[in-house]
A and B are shown apart, each in its own frame.
Chain A
Amino acid sequence: EVLLVESGGGLVQPGGSLRLSCTASGFPFSNYNMNWVRQAPGKGLEWVSSISSNNKSIYYADSVKGRFSISRDNAKNSLYLQMNSLRGEDTAVYYCARDDEMQFWLIDYWGQGSLVTVSS
């Protein structure tokens, strides 16, 4: 069974930092491109960042470029999102999501999400 479990969310002040982690199981993690997608409370979905299976291709939404950094450790079956200079508009549930094998930006499995709240 494919499982994606996010951790590291919580309350942080504006300007602060937070690191999200996603632990994957049930599939060969190193074969798959991975993503972070967020959803502000009561709002729609926004793609945040993507990383290829071999770490060679990385993409960011303009809204987080220069502030967020995606990375992965294939030996630990883990995906990360380092979030710096956080703003109120970054408040959202952050989903770790797996791409369909060999396809970019086609999510076939999602984690349950980790809530990040940016507030003073």
Chain B
Amino acid sequence: DIVLTQSPATLSLSPGERATLSCRASQSVSTYLVWYQQKPGQAPRLLISDASNRATGIPARFSGSGSGTDFTLTISSLEPEDSAFYYCQQRNSWPTFGQGTKVEIK
């Protein structure tokens, strides 16, 4: 199975700051990389599909980039409601998830 490694494990930033989350694959997944947001006690929510396509209703401050093995989720200006876990998932083969990055708002 393809292993996805997310970094950092935790990101602690202030409102208005830029957040950069990384997801690295153990082998190429082309652009078949998805990002989800999960808040405590809730189901995950689709943010970005296929590396860079923002899902319906997702604010423009969320953007994704990358291809092959290196991917980035950027939150351009953090809002308090962005406090959550963020997971990447590849769908190039049997789907696997990264271990998650926790974003904390100071």
A: residues with CB less than 8 A from B are 44-47, 59, 61-62, 95, 100, 103-108, 110-113
Q: Which of A45, A103, A111 contacts B87 (CB 8 A)?
A: A45
Task: Check if A108 sits within 8 Å of B46, measured CB to CB.
Answer: yes
Interface string of B33-60 (1 = CB under 8 A from A): 0101010001111100110000100000
Q: With A45-B87, A106-B34, A106-B49 in contact, is A59–B43 under 8 Å at CB?
A: no
A110 to B42, CA, bound (A): 10
B69 at the interface (CB under 8 A from A): no
A44 contact from B49, B94, B99, Cβ within 8 A: B99
In the complex, whether B64 has a CB less than 8 A from a CB of chain A is: no
By the criterion CB–CB under 8 Å, are B100 and A44 in contact?
A: yes
